Amino acid sequence: MHKSKQQIWLVLILSLLFIVVNSLLLYKQWFVLSLLPFALVIGMWVFFAPTKLFFALAFLVPLSIPLRRLVPDLAFDFWFPTEPILVFLLVMVILKSFKEGYFRKELMGEPVFLAMLFYLGWLLITVVTSQMPVVSIKYFFVRFWFIGVFFYLAYILFSQKFGNVRRFGLAYTVGLFCVALFSIIKQASRGLLDHKVAHGASAPFFIDHTSYGAALAFVIPLVIALALNESRRYLKVVLWGVALFFTFALVLSYSRAAWLSLLLGGGVWLLIRLKIKFRTLLVTLLVLVAAFFTFQDEIMWRLERNTTDSSGDLTEHVRSVINIKSDASNLERINRWDAALAMFKQRPFVGWGPGTYQFEYAPFQLSRNKTIISTNFGTGGNAHSEYLGLMAEAGIPAVIGFLLILVFILIKGFRLIQHGGIERAERNMVIACVVGLVTYIFHGFLNNFLDTDKIAAVYWGFMAIIVAIDHRVKFRDFQKGDELPKIEA
């Protein structure tokens, strides 16, 4: 009892000491010590409840903010508190794999996973040939821990228990709901229908309205699947309400690419309902691409006749999507794309190095492409395209690896949807993941956000859900045949 009192007094004294020291530091505008309680909580989660930490991470991803918001004078930056948690979880998984043989060997026969290894392997090669090795190695590690945690660790948890898929979806949904509510309240105070206010309404949680809109478009199909799978009536009503709220928030985000991506995702959902085969969809897509290149001169002439600029009027804002004559945002995208293609032509095989586009594209801008928002020193950011940016930074093999991941996961998703042995709840979730991924596959033509935790969490996480459900269905098929596969964990 005496020892217990001593421990209580020790905790009280240390707490008071921390409060006094931290108060003095806060007065001097030094915020680093304020992060210590968060670090201690994260540390406890890592060692005592790593599974719960993963779901806490899913909740925190939409709510993470750049560290420089807290400590402005830092020479470096990362998303806090999610990126430290990602590193902790990845290290834990690697150590556990070596110590306990935790590696899931069945993934070595999985085309999606093999394509990911090829993609990461080529990125690592291009780090060596990079113009800026320090930038590229950081870029590689960010992609590595995103895939390691949001795909590999997520796959382990999702394949162990289907309920973990629901937990992951709910955790991210609740976090994004907080951001959406915050954004709409901010917009309401400054002008709910003012598209300029919408651009920064989601800050500091999202860089701008485009990544915020992409996240909403990604998650709306997931929330609908959660509502369809929910057996409790009150929760079902709540989830449908959240889906409607997210749709309202998406409209108010004024992200044209996100609007179009969700419409395209809805079209894919309709084709799934009509039971159109993936092969037919692929052939149709190839025909459309061929038609575009065949009639590209006439298409470009028609597009150049559109002079509607982006505005607060929703109809005009939609029409401005195809304005490539006077809309500065669209013209700047073309400027970045042309610069990326010029960079690719100079180094088609290894590129200029992962993550280096924003530092290297300035000399590749053509004067005729520059807009009122262009900068001579190339300080405007990325390539505004996952595919062209990757071509410029890591060459054609990286793009092939990236596209193979998408092709394999979509084939698997469509086959699963049509599989007779899949359960209703699993099928709803696979449809949601396929539709969500389709929204970003389209969005990737116009923006690139996979270097942020906000989008990477659901992008790689949705793939993990599809692969895990595929594994569960195959396991049940073996059980029906009285032959069980060997599952190693």
CA 285 to chain centre: 24
pTM above 0.85, yes or no: no
190: left (phi over 0), alpha (psi -120 to 50) or beta: alpha
Instruction: Give me the pLDDT at residue 94, please.
Output: 81
DSSP symbols for 158-205: HHH-THHHHHHHHHHHHHHHHHHHHHHHHHHHH-TT-HHHHHTTTTTT
Q: Which residues of the chain have pLDDT under 50?
A: 1, 299-326, 482-489
State the sign of the Cα–Cα–Cα–Cα dihedral 379, 383, 386, 387: negative
Instruction: Give me the pLDDT at residue 195, please.
Output: 72
Instruction: Give me the pLDDT at residue 335, please.
Output: 85
DSSP symbols for 325-346: SS-HHHHHHHHHHHHHHHHHHH
Q: What is the pLDDT of residues 224-243, one digit of tens each?
A: 999 999 989 999 999 999 99
Half-sphere exposure of 458 (CA within 13 A, CB side): 38
Instruction: Give me the pLDDT at residue 350, please.
Output: 93
Instruction: Give me the pLDDT at residue 197, please.
Output: 77
Q: What is the pLDDT of residues 413-464, one digit of tens each?
A: 999 998 878 899 999 999 999 999 999 998 888 888 998 899 999 999 999 9
Instruction: Give me the pLDDT at residue 487, please.
Output: 37
Instruction: Give me the pLDDT at residue 485, please.
Output: 42
**What distance, in Å, lies between the first and last C-alpha atoms of the chain?**
44
Domain ranges of the chain: 106-282+380-480
How many whole angstroms separate alpha carbon 461 and alpha carbon 176?
A: 15
How many whole angstroms separate alpha carbon 183 and alpha carbon 201?
A: 5
Instruction: Give me the pLDDT at residue 215, please.
Output: 95
How many whole angstroms separate alpha carbon 188 and alpha carbon 150?
A: 34
User: Which of 219, 221, 279, 255 minimizes the C-alpha distance to 59?
Assistant: 219
How many whole angstroms separate alpha carbon 168 and alpha carbon 157?
A: 10
How many whole angstroms separate alpha carbon 261 and alpha carbon 267?
A: 10
How many whole angstroms separate alpha carbon 263 and alpha carbon 250?
A: 12
